[in-house]
Amino acid sequence: MSTFPKNLLEGYQNFLDGTYSQRSDRYKELALKGQNPETLVIACCDSRAAPEIVFDSGPGEIFVLRNVANLVPPYNAEGRYRSSVAAIEFAVVSLGVRHIVVMGHGRCGGVAAALDERRKALDEGDAIGHWISLLDPAIEAAAKGGESSSCDHAHDPGAGKEASEADLRRTAVERMSVSKSIGNLRTFPYVRDREESGALTLHGAWFDISEGVLWVYDPDNETFAPALER
Ligand SMILES: [Zn+2]
């Protein structure tokens, strides 16, 4: 008897009956011609913030890189960060995406872990610890109260609870890390060249999972604002 998760098989059946049967021509076309997505979305692994669901994207529409806390390492980072760098290189250089969206989200466990005062000193086997140490510049900048860390109306308290000091701090770091990741993208020579020529545009966003609100980063004044009136 198969031990494959039953809920996944049920979901797959729904996909076959729904999305796949409605869009089978598109899937066949993509199989024959290859993918040509216009946008790379860099998002967290978190099960509550899937870009294809948030953006209601169809097959072939967005190229997605997901990692813990939606981080972009600096281009010249150590080898342990290279899988994310490889995905970015493939999207930009091989696929020629025209947009990169770094999307953070509320209640990010990766950010919460980086802020945890009980965080231990790094040892070689601590993959998550090494990875989330990439958040240190965002934690530092948020502590200094940069504009992009402003959390007015963005406390994502959930279930009607008041935002605690810890919630506000986490939100500030979640947002600051988006702008830091955009800064790190500009350390990639092929990203910088394409941005300067106008072939590529970088964007930041933050998804409030409790209210479903997408906040978009405004680089001119380093703040976030809701993407749409609701
Ligand atoms: Zn997360």
Q: What is the pLDDT of residue 164?
A: 86
- Look at the block and give the residue holding tokens 């993407």: 227
Neighbours of 32 (CB within 10 A): 7
In the predicted structure, residue 169 carries a pLDDT above the cut 80: yes
26 and 54 both lie in a single domain: no
Domain with 11, as residue range(s), is: 1-34
24 and 96 both lie in a single domain: no
96 and 40 both lie in a single domain: yes
pLDDT tens track for 8-64:
999 999 999 999 999 999 999 999 999 999 999 999 999 999 999 999 999 999 999
Per-residue b/e over 34-57, b at no fewer than 16 CB within 10 Å? eeebebbbbbbebeebbbeebbeb
Ligand 1 centroid vs 179 CA: distance in angstroms? 15
132 and 198 both lie in a single domain: yes
Neighbouring residues of 104: CB distance < 8 A, sequence distance ≥ 6? 44, 69, 70, 111, 174, 175, 177, 178, 204, 205, 206, 207
Ligand 1 centroid vs 77 CA: distance in angstroms? 21
44 and 135 both lie in a single domain: yes
Handedness of CA 64, 66, 71, 77 (dihedral sign): negative
Return the half-sphere exposure (C-beta side, CA atoms, 13 A cut-off) of residue 146.
Answer: 23
Q: What is the pLDDT of residue 130?
A: 87
**pLDDT-based confidence at 122, cuts 50/70/90?**
low
201 and 220 both lie in a single domain: yes
62 and 147 both lie in a single domain: yes
45 is in an annotated binding site: no
End-to-end CA distance of the chain: 48
Q: Percent of the chain at pLDDT above 70? A: 89
In the predicted structure, residue 1 carries a pLDDT above the cut 60: yes
Neighbouring residues of 40: CB distance < 8 A, sequence distance ≥ 6? 62, 63, 64, 65, 88, 91, 92, 95, 97, 99, 100, 101
Looking at residue 23, the DSSP 8-state letter turns out to be S
By the 8 A CB rule, do 103 and 41 touch? Answer: yes
Q: Which two tokens stand for residue 146?
A: 């940069």
46 is in an annotated binding site: yes
Number of domains forming the structure of the chain = 2
Q: What is the pLDDT of residue 2?
A: 86
Ligand 1 centroid vs 148 CA: distance in angstroms? 18
pLDDT tens track for 124-147:
677 888 899 999 999 999 998 854
Q: Among 189, 185, 178, 224, which residue's Cα sits nearest to residue 201?
A: 185
**pLDDT-based confidence at 174, cuts 50/70/90?**
very high
44 is in an annotated binding site: yes
Q: What is the pLDDT of residue 125?
A: 72
Mean pLDDT for 207-222 is: 95
Q: Is 109 helix (H, G, I), strand (E, B) or coil?
A: helix
17 and 95 both lie in a single domain: no
